[in-house]
A = this chain, B = another copy of it.
Amino acid sequence: MFLKTTEYALRAVLYIARESHEDRRVSLAAVARAIGSPASFTAKIMQQLSRDNRIVCSVRGPGGGFYMTPASRQLPMQAILEAMGEEHLMTKCVLGLRQCSEKQPCPMHEAYQPVKAGLMRLFTHHTIGEMAGEPEWRKRLQQKRRPGLKR
């Protein structure tokens, strides 16, 4: 569906939405560990996500790291795709045809239409904060982070 980069970005933002506040920041290393992406690669992704502090905010120096404001949590999930330059994946033709449209439909257009609509709805109708609200996720990440944890 998405590029690995974008998958990492989605994971990272959801993680930060859970774990951070204005005063409690999470480090790059913590993010990388949590989302299972190499640290220096994660760094590049975080740069895209924190450009202009639009989606996540970043602070350098001791005690620094990343966090999200309440305002950013109100952004639709789509904002993450936009930051990564992959928002077109929601509207793209299944066959990858540029000219495909309602007027000039590809053979799969009609059948794919409801899937596309569902995708768009998924990313436009849900905010980041909303998506980050699931409790199962955090539990699993902690299991993963310390595999040898007893019980």
Residues of A within 8 A of B (CB): 1-2, 4, 7, 10-11, 14, 77, 89, 92, 94-97, 99, 104-112, 114-115, 118-119, 122, 126, 131-134, 136-137, 140
Which single member of B4, B14, B99, B105 contacts A96 (CB below 8 Å)?
Answer: B4
In the bound complex, residues from chain B placing their C-beta under 8 Å from that of A94 are: 1-2, 7, 10
Tell me if A107 and B1 are in contact (CB < 8 A): no
Tell me if A118 and B107 are in contact (CB < 8 A): no
Known contacts A11-B95, A92-B1, A95-B7, A131 near B108 by CB under 8 Å: yes
Tell me if A105 and B136 are in contact (CB < 8 A): yes
Q: A132: nearest residue on chain B (CB-CB)?
A: B107
